[in-house]
């Protein structure tokens, strides 16, 4: 497999003299090296994408749809190789990666059809003989900057709607997981005209070159808040269109009528899938005093039954974290919480083995003075706090700078309604956390950033809206100056 940039339909070393090592987080072994893309590499990719845009934007929506479906078909055919490489570069267990790959190709199918059938509209005119239309246009070259935790899914949520809308793309995958993006170029994107899809590998400096490039009018970015803030400050003077999906600190509230055993299973899943490295991970749990004993006991039992291991092992429930920097943040948050009075009921340590593992951890006696309840932890730690009444639970759920997702467990429709109306988050899950829907817009409020992926909103992010007002007969108007003529 090629481990170079993919520019104008070809794999190339480009101008890079430096490389970045990609390791398997379960073994710490280097599995490949990729070039650290330079400004010149980024410019080559942008020029290729710009040249391709001139014809791609004129390709009919139906032809574009067929090419997106073909990409999806190829991913289906190569599904097992893709799942395996994804597991080796990202670390989560095989079944989770299978789900990611299915979501990836299905997203291409979804946007193939949405792009084919959503082309703008005619609106009522205020004058006879005048045609008013709302039409949708692509931006041009879109820079897609992707994180490591769902490297293919988050690529698909950007690239599929961007292409369906008629844009061309330059993708900058995460330096930790660039291999599957390159694999798709080889296995699934080879039928696109050269320059329509380009990948430049590299780290933040490469991403920044893409953001700074004057011929990239739109940046679609998923990643951390601090990187998003940097991108915003660079792009603002150029008035670029920015699409942001930033961090989260999702609350999971258990109402007093909920089944504590079922809630414990849902929390273990939502807090520990992908070793807690999901933007919508359950990062803090609120349980009423009356249910706390039973809920916590069940949660600790469940967590104690989970197997930590290499994602390639079919017995593994939880894989490694992506790297030491991310694991250290979990260690720091747990230490800060313990210093302020929290108790660790299970886990809390780095196991003595190769790989960037951290034990799945449950903490109690936590409060909002602790980092683990206010800053994104992004790891396998579940802090559980008790509350007295539902007003307090809603207030605590809203006590965050982030607003990505929130979950409630209840059978009480009144509580459900209060929760989805009053909690400020882009997605509200009731009794079924972390379930996405291709047609359901996904994104955040507050510091999580605006913009939505998936759904029609996710296509519209990649299109400019233009209003056309057309007097077909070109008649003179009584209100034109000078009035007396
Ligand atoms: P990150 O911000 O470190 O990196 C994301 C991408 O940005 C990488 O490709 C990186 O190379 C690039 N980058 C870094 N510095 C850059 C710069 N100055 N200019 C341009 N590009 C730059 O984030 P990460 O650690 O890869 O991902 C984890 C974060 O992503 C978490 O905060 C998580 O919540 C967030 N995330 C959010 C969502 C969502 O939908 N809201 C989904 C997944 C992950």
Domain harbouring 81, CATH code:
3.40.605.10
228, 295: one domain: no
Residue 1 confidence (pLDDT) above 90: no
For ligand 1, which residues put their CB under 6 angstroms from it?
145-149, 154, 172, 174-175, 203-204, 207-208, 211, 222-224, 227, 230-231, 245-248, 279, 376, 378, 404, 444, 448
Residue 106 is assigned to a structural domain of this protein: yes
* Residue 249 · residue 225 · CB < 8 Å: no
Residue 142 tokens read as: 């879109």
* Residue 421 · residue 438 · CB < 8 Å: no
CA of 223 relative to ligand 1 center, distance in Å: 2
CA of 225 relative to ligand 1 center, distance in Å: 8
Q: Which helix (H) or strand (E) holds 448?
A: none
Gap between the Cα atoms of 419 and 393, Å rounded: 9
Q: Using 50, 70 and 90 to split pLDDT, how confident is the model at 77?
A: very high
Whether a cis peptide bond, with omega within 30° of 0, leads into 482 is yes
Please report, to the nearest 10 degrees, the dihedral formed by the alpha carbons of residues 109, 275, 146, 163 taken in order: 0
416, 461: one domain: no
**Nearest CA-CA partner of 175 in 211, 199, 141:** 199
Q: What is the pLDDT of residue 450?
A: 85
Residue 258 is assigned to a structural domain of this protein: yes
461, 426: one domain: no
168, 206: one domain: yes
Residues 250, 252, 255: CA angle, nearest 5 degrees: 155
pTM reported for the whole predicted model: 0.97
Residue 437 is assigned to a structural domain of this protein: no
Mean pLDDT across the stretch 221-225?
A: 98
132, 227: one domain: yes
216, 254: one domain: no
Q: Using 50, 70 and 90 to split pLDDT, how confident is the model at 267?
A: very high
pLDDT digits (tens, 9 = 90+) for 89-99: 999 999 999 99
Q: What is the pLDDT of residue 118?
A: 85
* Residue 55 · residue 138 · CB < 8 Å: no
**Closest residue to atom 22 of ligand 1, CA basis:** 204
Q: Which atom of ligand 1 is nearest to the CA of 248?
A: 34
> Helices (H) and strands (E) in the chain — how many of each?
15, 21
Q: What is the pLDDT of residue 381?
A: 98
Residue 312 is assigned to a structural domain of this protein: yes
201, 337: one domain: no
Give the side-chain half-sphere CA count within 13 A for 249. Answer: 21
198, 220: one domain: yes
**In degrees rounded to 5, what are phi and psi of residue 18?**
-100, 155
233, 257: one domain: no
CA distances from 257 to 292, 391, 392 (A): 12, 15, 16
* Residue 85 · residue 186 · CB < 8 Å: no
pLDDT digits (tens, 9 = 90+) for 376-392: 999 999 999 999 999 99
Is 283 a known active-site residue? no
296, 232: one domain: no
**Closest residue to atom 6 of ligand 1, CA basis:** 147
Mean pLDDT across the stretch 28-32?
A: 98
Q: What does the mean pLDDT of the chain come to? A: 97
Q: What is the pLDDT of residue 485?
A: 63
**Per residue in 72-82, is it b (16+ CB within 10 Å) or e — as a string?**
bebbeebeeeb
Domain total for the chain?
2
177, 223: one domain: yes
**In degrees rounded to 5, what are phi and psi of residue 324?**
-70, -35
158, 259: one domain: no
Q: What is the pLDDT of residue 483?
A: 82
pLDDT digits (tens, 9 = 90+) for 184-196: 999 999 999 999 9
Mean pLDDT across the stretch 454-470?
A: 97
The residue range of the domain holding 415 is 250-430
């Amino acid at each position: 497999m090629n481990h170079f940039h993919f520019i104008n339909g070809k794999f190339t070393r480009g101008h890079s003299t430096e490389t970045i090592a990609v390791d398997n987080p379960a073994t710490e072994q280097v599995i490949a090296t990729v070039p650290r893309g330079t400004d010149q590499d980024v410019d080559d990719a942008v020029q290729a994408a710009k040249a391709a845009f001139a014809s791609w934007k004129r390709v009919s929506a139906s032809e574009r749809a067929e090419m997106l479906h073909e990409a999806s078909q190829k991913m289906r055919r190569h599904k097992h190789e893709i799942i395996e490489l994804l597991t080796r570069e990202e670390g989560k267990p095989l079944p989770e990666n299978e789900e990611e790959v299915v979501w990836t190709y299905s997203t291409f199918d979804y946007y193939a059809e949405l792009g084919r059938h959503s082309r703008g509209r005619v609106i009522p005119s205020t004058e006879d003989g005048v045609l008013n239309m709302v039409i949708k246009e692509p931006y041009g070259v879109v820079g897609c900057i992707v994180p490591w935790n769902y490297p293919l899914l988050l690529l698909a949520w950007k690239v599929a709607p961007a292409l369906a809308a008629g844009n061309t793309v330059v993708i900058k995958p995460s330096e930790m997981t660039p291999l599957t993006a390159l694999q798709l170029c080889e296995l699934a994107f080879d039928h696109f005209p050269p320059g329509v899809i380009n990948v430049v590998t590299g780290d933040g400096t490469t991403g920044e070159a893409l953001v700074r490039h004057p011929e990239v009018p739109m940046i679609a970015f998923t990643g951390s808040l601090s990187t998003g803030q940097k991108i915003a400050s660079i792009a603002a003077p150029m008035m670029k269109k920015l699409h942001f999906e930033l961090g989260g600190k999702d609350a999971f509230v258990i109402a007093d009528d909920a089944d504590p055993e079922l809630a414990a299973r849902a929390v273990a899943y939502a807090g520990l899938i992908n070793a807690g490295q999901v933007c919508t991970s359950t990062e803090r749990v609120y349980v009423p005093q009356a249910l706390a004993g039973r809920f916590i006991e069940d949660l600790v039992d469940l967590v104690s039954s989970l197997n930590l291991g290499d994602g390639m092992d079919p017995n593994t429930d939880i894989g490694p974290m992506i790297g030491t920097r991310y694991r250290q943040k979990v260690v720091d948050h747990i230490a800060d919480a313990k210093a302020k009075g929290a108790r660790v009921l299970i886990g809390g340590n780095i196991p003595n083995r190769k790989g960037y593992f951290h034990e799945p951890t449950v903490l109690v006696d936590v409060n909002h003075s602790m980092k683990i309840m206010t800053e994104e932890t992004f790891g396998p730690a579940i802090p559980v706090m008790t509350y007295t009444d539902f007003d307090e639970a809603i207030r605590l759920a809203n006590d965050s700078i982030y607003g990505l997702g929130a979950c409630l467990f209840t059978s009480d429709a009144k509580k459900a309604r209060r929760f989805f109306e009053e909690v400020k988050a882009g997605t509200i899950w009731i009794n079924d956390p972390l379930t996405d829907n291709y047609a359901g817009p996904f994104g955040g409020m507050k510091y999580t950033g605006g913009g939505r992926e998936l759904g029609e909103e996710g296509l519209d992010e990649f299109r400019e809206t233009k209003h056309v007002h057309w007097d077909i007969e070109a008649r003179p108007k009584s209100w034109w100056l000078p009035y007396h003529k």
